[in-house]
Amino acid sequence: MKCRKCGERALVTLRRHNASFCKEHFNEFFRRQVEKGIKDYKMFDWSDKIMVCISGGKDSLVLWYLLNDMGFDTTGMYINLGIGEYSQKSLEKVNNFAEKHNLKSIIVNLDELGHPIPLLESKVKRQVCAICGTAKRYYFNKTAYEGKFDVVATGHNLDDETARLLGNVLKWDPAYLSKMDPNLPEDGEFIKRKVKPLVRLTELEVGAFAFMNGIDYIKDECPKAVGATSMLYKNALNNLESEMPGTKHYFYNEFFRSAADKFKMEEVNTEMHTCAVCGLESFNEVCSFCRMLEKLK
Amino acid sequence: MIIVNMPDGKQIETKKRRIKDILKELHLNENAVLVARGEDLLTPDISLEKEDEITIISVVSGG
């Protein structure tokens, strides 16, 4: 196959766009999609201080690389979850990447804080991915608040978001469906705006960008995520995409065009509290993360 | 024979030449993997030379 722009041998084929690209023109396409996502969803501008949540995987490192390359003010934020060799390897990737590109980073270490994920998993009777999600959200919010960041960016891509949408549609869960927007506004003093600039790009496209641009990421899957239902949804969507290219893009975009308004939650003036344990803003007298930590006592 | 390095580190051999046919034989979805020969990515239409070695990279993550 030939590159649509220059006729050179293509390195990647995007059936949903009926196009193939060489490295130079794929990079151009990729960057344009990120710019369009940021602009269309009014995610942030040049004056914003952006905290990029980094896992060491392809999506977050590609996002960090690109936002920095575009000239945005970024700081990477990595949480060492204390999941054995997986966490050690991912931390190494993050440190090497930050050093190579001369980027600012903040590392939160759950081992040092005394509550690594495996310990929480052994004490808290919830699914480990839910425990991990609560811990990550807490430290993302806390770090963004304390660091006076304007916006928190994550590397969620089109596959992540369509898989989540499919899961939420299958359950017809209005609370979750109301939070599908790739630009979620700040909530109170503590919770900063959350954005997903890679939302117009598939997992394959992000992987191809990482490969072509020498971005060294952790390829191992989190050992705790084995059997996650999101994988089931992604496989189903990939099978549909093979037969009907463009399905994911259409499913996601049509949700916002035709259905998202129906799931808008009415604004409720929830009384905010100060968590009695950690002192940060909370919906309850003790925040959900501190309630979880109480199980360790 | 073509040598295929799988995402789990295993190595297999195949007589198929075209990337699309190799993926089909391995029951891999072309939206879920990249195929590389050295530093080069390969599109599904590419036909390999015998003795070529390729690497399959999974791009699907569960997080």
How deeply is A54 buried, as exposed, middle or buried, from its count of CB atoms within 10 A (0-12, 13-18, 19+)? buried
Q: How far apart are the first and last CA of chain B?
A: 36
The count of CB pairs under 8 A between chains A and B is 75
Q: Indicate the residue type of A227.
A: G
Q: Among residues A71, A74, A69, A82, which one has the least CA distance to residue A30?
A: A69
- Is A4 a domain residue? no
| Statement: B2-58 belongs to CATH 3.10.20.30 | yes
**Rounded Cα–Cα distance for residues A241 and A16 (Å):** 8
3-state secondary structure of A168: helix
Instruction: Please indicate if any CB of chain B lies within 8 Å of the CB of A127.
Output: no
Query: One digit per residue, pLDDT tens: chain A, 297 residues?
Result: 999 999 999 999 999 999 999 999 999 999 999 999 999 999 999 999 999 999 999 999 999 999 999 999 999 999 999 999 999 999 999 999 999 999 999 999 999 999 999 999 999 999 999 999 999 999 999 999 999 999 999 999 999 999 999 999 999 999 999 999 999 999 888 889 999 999 999 999 999 999 999 999 999 889 988 878 899 999 999 999 999 999 999 999 999 999 999 998 776 667 788 999 999 988 889 999 999 999 998
Query: How many whole angstroms separate alpha carbon A73 and alpha carbon A103?
Result: 10
Strand order in the sheet with B11-14: B11-14, B2-5, B53-58, B33-37, B40-41
- CA B14 to chain A, closest CA, distance in angstroms equals 22
Residues of chain A numbered 8-47 and touching chain B (CB < 8 Å): 10-13, 20
The number of beta carbons lying within 10 Å of the beta carbon of residue A127 is 12
**Which of A221, A240, A244 is the best substitution to test chain B (most B C-beta atoms within 10 A)?**
A221
CATH number of the domain that A159 lies in?
3.40.50.620
| Least CB–CB distance from B40: residue in A11, A221, A230 | A11
**How close does chain A come to B26, measured CA to CA in Å?**
15
Domain count, chain A: 1
Distance, in Å, from the CA atom of A95 to the CA atom of A16, rounded to the nearest integer, reads 35
Q: Cβ B7–A211 below 8 Å, yes or no?
A: no
Q: Could you count the other beta carbons within 10 Å of the beta carbon of residue A203?
A: 24
Alpha carbons within 13 A on the beta-carbon side of A223 = 13
Q: For residue A128, what is the nearest residue in chain B, using CA coordinates?
A: B63
Could B34 and A211 be called an inter-chain contact, meaning their C-beta atoms sit closer than 8 Å?
yes
Task: Report CB contact under 8 Å: B60, A13.
Answer: no
Residue A127 lies in a domain: yes
Domain assignment present for residue A148? The answer is yes
Instruction: Please give, rounded to a whole number of angstroms, the shortest distance from the CA of B39 to a CA of chain A.
Output: 8
Q: Looking at CA atoms only, how far is residue A198 from chain B in angstroms?
A: 15
At A88, is the secondary structure helix, strand, or coil?
A: helix
Asked, for residue A194, whether it belongs to a domain, the answer is yes
Structural domain contains residue A197:
yes
- Rounded to a whole number, what is the distance in angstroms from the first to the last CA of chain A? 61
Find the domain containing A64 and state its range.
Answer: 43-215+228-266
> In the 3-class helix/strand/coil scheme, how is A196-248 assigned residue by residue?
CCCCCCCHHHHHHHHHHCCCCCCCCCCHHHCCCHHHHHHHHHHHHHHHCCCHH
Answer whether residue A181 is part of any domain. yes
Contacts of A241 in chain B (CB under 8 A): 31
Q: What DSSP designation does B17 have?
A: -
Q: Which two tokens stand for residue A259?
A: 């259905």
